[in-house]
Copies of this chain bind each other. A is one copy, B any other.
Amino acid sequence: MIQPTFPVLAPQRRELIRSLVRDEGIVRVEDLRQNLKVSVATIRRDLEILEENGKLQRVHGGAVTMENRLEEAVFDDKTNQASKEKSRIAEEACKLISTGDSVYLDGGSTTLGLARLLKDRTDLTLVTNSLRAATELADSGPKILLIGGELRRISQTMVGPLTSGVLGQVHVDKAFMGTMGFCLKSGLTTTDPNEAFVKNLVAAQAGQVILLADSGKAEKVSFARVSDWDAIDVLVTDAKLPKPFTKSLRKRGLKVLLA
């Protein structure tokens, strides 16, 4: 965490909280209190204001990004477990990328974590609809092809009819996808149909589709259906995924990696 020089003005503090939520996906009131050296009451008030402005979503114990808002059991441990798992998943996924690959990355905090690992991979071609992934790699790293389209503010990704045109003109060897929920019965789901449409389009034409999702998303079902398990080749998740779940997926022919 960035340690600001104290004291900090209120707007500055809120901006700090906001960027922290954006980067980590989730923040805890107690952590913020320690790092910002103010009382929990102030933290709560800040979170309230930021929530009113649509910058984040408060949850019991802290706050999450708007796109992560349907996740529930987020504070599984005293530490920020979810984010640790996410970065381990990203590292595991990174190993799957070969030299010279063309890679697709979609939106979400886990895939953003993967993007951060690619800053030195000038050998790759990265196709993405994530504004944040592109910004993260704006100064160095793979050659970047950003899918055009309408910016969906809540997820900071490009969606809509204009995206399909570009997607039809490129080929990706490996597509790394995030999801809001995955479930044996319903397959992959996410909050927004437009988002789902783009994911589906990519999945349909990628050489290999790799799903990145921490175990907290298992058996969660969201609004918009993305695809069935048939479309997925590899799942990278963490060791907390229930054994039966893993078995069932492997029986279906998926490669399941536990980071």
Contacts and interface: CB of A to CB of B under 8 A. Distances in A.
Nearest to A165: B165
Interface residues of A, number: 44
A145 B144 contact: no
Interface string A1-22: 0000001011110011001000
17 contacts: A7-B28, A10-B59, A10-B61, A11-B26, A11-B59, A12-B70, A15-B68, A131-B131, A131-B134, A131-B146, A138-B151, A143-B151, A145-B148, A145-B149, A148-B149, A162-B170, A165-B165
A64 interface: yes
Determine chain A's interface SS by DSSP, over half rule: mixed
A148 B148 contact: yes
Interface in A10-44: 10-12, 15-16, 19, 26, 28
A9 B169 contact: no
A202 to B, nearest CB: 13
Given A9-B61, A10-B60, A26-B12, A144 B151 contact: yes
A150 interface: yes
Indicate the member of A60, A62, A148, A150 with the most B CB atoms within 10 Å.
A148
A153 to B, nearest CB: 7
Given A135-B135, A138-B156, 4 more contacts: A146-B158, A147-B148, A148-B158, A165-B165
A150 B145 contact: yes
Contact of A26 (B9, B140, B151): B9
Contacts of A59: 9-11
A184 interface: no
A165 B161 CA distance: 12
A163 interface: yes
Contacts of A135: 131, 135
Interface of A: 7, 9-12, 15-16, 19, 26, 28, 55, 59-62, 64, 68, 70-71, 131, 134-135, 138-140, 143-151, 153, 156, 158, 161-163, 165-166, 169-170
A201 to B, nearest CB: 13
A25 B52 CA distance: 24
B9 A62 contact: yes
Contacts of A131: 131, 134-135, 138, 146
A162 B138 contact: no
A124 to B, nearest CB: 13
Given A10-B61, A15-B70, A148 B166 contact: yes
